[in-house]
Amino acid sequence: MRSCQIVEWGKPLEMHEYPNPEPQGTEVLVKVTACGVCHTDVHVWHGYFDLGDGERATIESRGVELPFTMGHEVIGEAVALGPDATGVSVGDKRIVFPWIGCGECRACQDDREVDCVSPNPLGTRRHGGYSDHIVVPDARYLVEYGDVSETLACTYACSGLTVYSAIKKVTPLNDDDTLLIIGAGGVGLNAMNVAPALTGAKIVVADIDPWKRQAALNAGAVHAVDNSTATAVEEVKELSGGGARAAIDFVGSPETAQFGFDSLCRGGMQVVVGLYGGKFAFPVPFLPLQHRMLRGSYVGSLEELKELMALVMAGKITPLPVTTRPLEEATSVLEDLQQGGKIVGRVVLRP
């Protein structure tokens, strides 16, 4: 198999050739037909997440060794099954659910794999889909996608699922409530496509880039505000009649977290999804006195991916714009994502 790998953190990826792995036990070998490039991959590529004040969480500290194959929005065809693999046949085409737990801890035993204390996701901890083949530990992580195009369907494994799970956390909302979406890049823009299937709330988008604000308005946002201006919080309060009932921060920087928190109404909930990094401060009494909630959401569960795909297959979710590039161009796609502004929607690699 041919894999496009990190050989040195932050340096151009390299194509490496290996013999095709033999699936063991319950494993399934999947021939990859498409793999989306996620902003998380930019962090993994550089080898760390920024925790603020110069602190870093390194990828190496999670036990990842180089060379490493990224890619967690994977789709493909089962081509070989381990002796104990059940629930899938050779030739079946499936989305790969990448957010795999250890299977041992209390959360995993409890069916909360997403809260696993020692997760083993494909593409961030074990080899992912920047390759023409991937080993999936169990057929239960393979999800059907019907007649949906494979370059679109793969994006639901992270971009779509992340949005779906974050919106589910803030629902139910009333139709006259405001849902503030911060950041209209690949994942945030997808919120405009997924939200109407879950809530009738009015969507206000905030982004510092006029191009992305326009893309969000085109995708169904009712208003778009420039959160780099000093009046942005006031604008949201005015547009929402007193503050947003929910804010989902798809950037996760100190500025966006602060902006989202300040834009909430009494009883409002902020969900931080983006991993830009840094720290932010807020008046602690606002939590009790204003009944505000602050929580995080990282991707979503296997059950949620199945729920989401049922909505997608029923035609309830507007497709995200997708462009395809050859696997060999992975490095330049990562560079484009890192610079921001260049990409609207998702870039999907084709091996």
Q: Which residues bind Zn ion (CB under 5 A)?
A: 38, 40, 101-102, 105, 108, 116, 158
Nearer Cβ to Zn ion, position 44 or 233? 44
Q: How far is the CB of 130 from Zn ion (least distance, A)?
A: 13
Nearer Cβ to Zn ion, position 105 or 217? 105
Nearer Cβ to Zn ion, position 95 or 116? 116
Phi and psi torsions of 178, nearest 5° = -110, 130
Nearer Cβ to Zn ion, position 185 or 243? 185
Q: How far is the CB of 252 from Zn ion (least distance, A)?
A: 13
Q: How far is the CB of 299 from Zn ion (least distance, A)?
A: 7
Q: How far is the CB of 102 from Zn ion (least distance, A)?
A: 3
Nearer Cβ to Zn ion, position 5 or 120? 120
Nearer Cβ to Zn ion, position 158 or 327? 158
Nearer Cβ to Zn ion, position 155 or 240? 155
Q: How far is the CB of 38 from Zn ion (least distance, A)?
A: 3
Q: Which residues pair with 15 in a beta bridge?
A: 4
Question: From its phi and psi, is residue 123 left (phi > 0), alpha (psi between -120 and 50) or beta?
Answer: left
Q: How far is the CB of 163 from Zn ion (least distance, A)?
A: 11
The rounded radius of gyration (Å) of the Cα atoms in the chain is 20
Q: How far is the CB of 172 from Zn ion (least distance, A)?
A: 26
Q: How far is the CB of 118 from Zn ion (least distance, A)?
A: 6
The number of C-alpha atoms within 13 Å of 16 and in the hemisphere containing its C-beta is 14
Tokens representing 122 are 């494909």
Nearer Cβ to Zn ion, position 105 or 313? 105
Q: How far is the CB of 158 from Zn ion (least distance, A)?
A: 3
Nearer Cβ to Zn ion, position 79 or 102? 102
Per-residue 3-state assignment (H helix, E strand, C coil) for the chain: CEEEEECCCCCCCEEEECCCCCCCCCCEEEEEEEEEECHHHHHHHHCEEEEECCEEEECHHHCCCCCEECCCEEEEEEEEECCCCCCCCCCCEEEECCCCCCCCCHHHHCCCHHHCCCCCCECCCECCCCECEEEECCHHHEECCCCCCHHHHHHHHCHHHHHHHHHHHHCCCCCCCEEEEECCCHHHHHHHHHHHHHCCCEEEEECCCHHHHHHHHHCCCCEEECCCCCCHHHHHHHHHCCCEEEEEECCCCHHHHHHHHHCEEEEEEEEECCCCCCCCCCCCCHHHHCCCEEEECCCCCHHHHHHHHHHHHCCCCCCCCEEEEEHHHHHHHHHHHHHCCCCCCEEEEEC
* Centroid of chain to Cα 270: 17
